[in-house]
A and B are shown apart, each in its own frame.
Chain A
Amino acid sequence: MGAGRRHGKRALDDRIPARPSGGNLPAAPEPGRSTVTSSSLGGVDRNEADLLAKARGGNLFAFEEIVRRYQRRVYATALRIVRRHELADEVAQEAFLRAFESLGRFDLARPFGPWICRIAANLAISHVRSPAAREQPLPETAPEPPSTAPDALSGLLESEAGAVLDRALSELPPEQRAVFVLRVCEEMSYREIAETLGIQMGTVMSRLARARERLREKVAPYLGPALRRAGGEAT
């Protein structure tokens, strides 16, 4: 069972893969598009503090290097919440701009990644909460209906599961989606999520449970082969 490895907050280091095995990779990325997953993001460099100190002194090129290291993670956080590239781009840019302006208050002994991601998450959530954002239609990525494919197609099913989950994430209420992304993708603790969103921990727990349940309902039809294989591998 996978619950055990979730106990305790995992280090928020980009280098740590979110999942040890790659057996359930979803659909291949679109041709001609850069791809990043939460498990392939850049790591924390040991001279990161030096770069940040220089950036704090106004060195834009030092900060550009910091941006280069964290851009994928920040963009991913933003995109998972706002669901649109153009908005994620704006959020990611704004997050870095604000981080730069707030570097004077940032403790250089702390990791930069969680901090910048929290900024991005806040901005993204501010957007999805806005009335204007609620009126915008979601990206048109119609999910494929569940298939009764034989075992030979189980790999395809698993691929479809990713696409279905992606769509289901888009359909979540923004508040639930934000909590889910912060917990599952950013691996924040309930307390951190509560602080970030300004809600009670109990609310975090209930929103997260509802989000997971809605997602599970959509994805479960595709999970049979994967779970069976996972069970088989385990035995």
Chain B
Amino acid sequence: MSEAPHAGERLSAYLDGELPAAEREQVESHLRECGPCARWLEELQAVDDFAQELPVAAPEGYFEAFPARVRERLAARRRRRVPAWTWAAAAAVLLAVVTPLTLIRREAAPAARRDAAAARVEAPPAGVEASAAPLPSATVSAQEYGRVARLPAPEQERANESKMRQAGREDAGQRPVLMVPPAGRDKDRLAARDADTRAADGYSVGGVSGGGGLDDQKKAKDEDARSRRATLDGSLAKTGTAAAGGAPARTFRPAEAQSTPSPAPPPAAAAPPAAPSAMAEEVVVQAEAPQMARREPRSQDAAKPDGAAAGEGAAVDQPRLKGEADALTKPGLAGRKEAEGVEGFRELSLRAADSAEQARALYRAWAAFARRHPRTHAGDEARVRSIESLAAAWRLGGLEADRQLARALGEAYVAEPGPQAARLRPLLEELSR
């Protein structure tokens, strides 16, 4: 082995051609006279050569599959970035289509129908804001309709409330009745516009009973799954994801609306007129405040008069809610049950992370656990929790590297897709912002 070079660090820079001309000449002059330094330089060059030739190994088939994986992830991102209003619009269209079908089956009292008909708010055609052209039969002007759809003026709101109260007394006891025109020529556009409006307001489709229904399902599940969902609810509410979280903050509160007319959005905005038509139909929205629904979800069932009292809107969204709820909880629940029997899982579950460092440590612990238990529910659950822990570290410490790694790990999991991909998506949205 050579002795320490006289040229020092300059040999490395000389090797790279990064020395100024004067220094380069000095080094070259020295190299002509100094054997050890010349030998040293040869060894440095050999190191570079070996490093360049180092094979880079990847699992068999990796490069064959990699391009398509990237494309899939890009496509998935593109799908995720579909504006929120389109999902709300889809839900609104579904609401408009399914609601009449479900209502047809209901036998409502003729008197209630008459009152309801009197209270109808008929929707103008598309582009109400722009054209303000009401249908000939419209009983509410386009401008008023526009306000109804967005932020109703207090007087309009009061008028609506009066109508709702009137219809509600006759038809559904204490439940107010909101008008939702069903299908029509421009229902898609209107539904999209209304849904957009509601999405902008943070309105949750099927809000009250949707959230309650989800809570109801959750209550039947174990404590851990519920607490985890609570965390997710926060993320979902923040990201505006409608269904899974219940997002009760902007849901319809009839009691409040009746007692204290307020310029703030609620009632009519919560029941979207979805299409221009004289075929207005009622949608019964349960009267319980969302807080009540959350505290005692089963009270909704008790309030159902004929099996539909969970709210027709909720009935429409219920399958989706249920699907998402299952997606959120089922793998995790199964994983948790199985994981409880795995050594170390419970201990990790009990660990709290009050600082970024603790959260990082928890991330490492969960990741190590996941590596020790590959292809098991417990390992999968640990993997998801490791990502969540790293995200928590980022929230606590604000370190960009934590965010990037959590995002990369989460996206890799979702791209596979892991069985709990739905659980991670809201988190990924948060990490991507």
Contact = CB atoms under 8 A, between A and B. Distances in A.
A73 B94 CA distance: 48
A203 B47 CA distance: 21
Contacts of A61: 71
A227 to B, nearest CB: 6
B340 interface: no
A37 B56 contact: yes
B18 A93 contact: no
Given A90-B412, A190-B18, A212-B47, A162 B54 contact: yes
Interface in B33-90: 38, 40-63, 66-71, 73-75, 77
Given A64-B71, A220-B1, A221-B1, A33 B57 contact: yes
B55 A35 contact: yes
Interface string B1-25: 1100000110111111110000000
A100 B41 CA distance: 41
Interface string B344-364: 000000000000010010011
Interface in A91-126: 91-94, 96-97, 100, 123, 126
Given A71-B66, A212-B12, A227-B42, A126 B401 contact: yes
Interface of A: 1-3, 6-9, 18-19, 22, 24-27, 29-30, 32-39, 60-61, 63-65, 67-68, 71-72, 75-76, 79-80, 85, 89-94, 96-97, 100, 123, 126-127, 129-133, 135-136, 161-162, 165-166, 169, 180, 183-185, 189-190, 205-206, 208-209, 212-213, 215-217, 219-221, 223, 226-227, 230
B79 to A, nearest CB: 12
B239 interface: no
Contacts of B216: none
B409 interface: yes
Contacts of B63: 34, 36, 71-72, 75
B57 A130 contact: no
Given A33-B57, A205-B9, A67 B404 contact: no
A1 B38 contact: yes
Given A169-B51, A226-B46, 13 more contacts: A24-B46, A26-B55, A34-B62, A37-B53, A91-B408, A93-B69, A93-B412, A97-B411, A126-B405, A127-B401, A162-B50, A208-B16, A209-B9
A226 B69 CA distance: 41
Given A97-B73, A184-B51, A190-B16, A36 B56 contact: yes
A24 B75 contact: no
21 contacts: A2-B15, A26-B50, A26-B55, A27-B55, A33-B57, A34-B57, A35-B57, A75-B56, A79-B58, A126-B400, A126-B401, A127-B408, A129-B401, A130-B401, A136-B364, A208-B12, A209-B13, A216-B40, A216-B44, A219-B47, A230-B42
A91 B8 CA distance: 35
B399 A130 contact: yes
Given A26-B54, A135-B364, A189-B18, A3 B45 contact: yes
B433 to A, nearest CB: 14
A19 B360 contact: no
A212 B9 CA distance: 10
Nearest to B77: A97
Main secondary structure of the interface of A (DSSP, over half): helix
A63 B74 contact: yes
B301 to A, nearest CB: 45
Query: Which of A123, A129, A184 has the most chain B CB atoms inside 10 A of its CB?
Result: A184
Nearest to A163: B54
Contacts of A184: 48, 51-52
B12 A205 contact: yes
A6 B50 contact: no
B42 A206 contact: no
Contacts of B11: 209
Contact of A165 (B1, B51, B408): B51
B333 interface: no
B52 A18 contact: yes
A89 B54 CA distance: 18
Given A24-B53, A132-B360, A60 B71 contact: yes
Given A6-B15, A32-B60, A67-B70, A216 B53 contact: no
Contacts of A1: 31, 38, 41-42, 45
A120 B71 CA distance: 17
B275 interface: no
Given A3-B14, A67-B66, A93-B412, A215 B47 contact: yes
Given A26-B53, A166-B54, A227-B46, A64 B67 contact: yes
Nearest to B42: A227
Nearest to A132: B360
A220 B53 CA distance: 16
B382 interface: no
A190 B60 CA distance: 35
Nearest to B61: A34
Contacts of A97: 70, 73-74, 77, 411
Given A162-B53, A209-B13, A212-B12, A123 B45 contact: no
A18 B51 CA distance: 10
A60 B73 CA distance: 10
Contacts of A185: 51-52
Nearest to A158: B50
A68 B40 CA distance: 40
Contacts of A165: 47, 50-51, 54
B246 to A, nearest CB: 32
A229 to B, nearest CB: 11
Contacts of A38: 52-53, 56
Given A60-B75, A71-B66, A132-B390, A29 B405 contact: no
B54 A132 contact: no
B16 A183 contact: yes
A34 B59 contact: yes
A132 B363 contact: yes
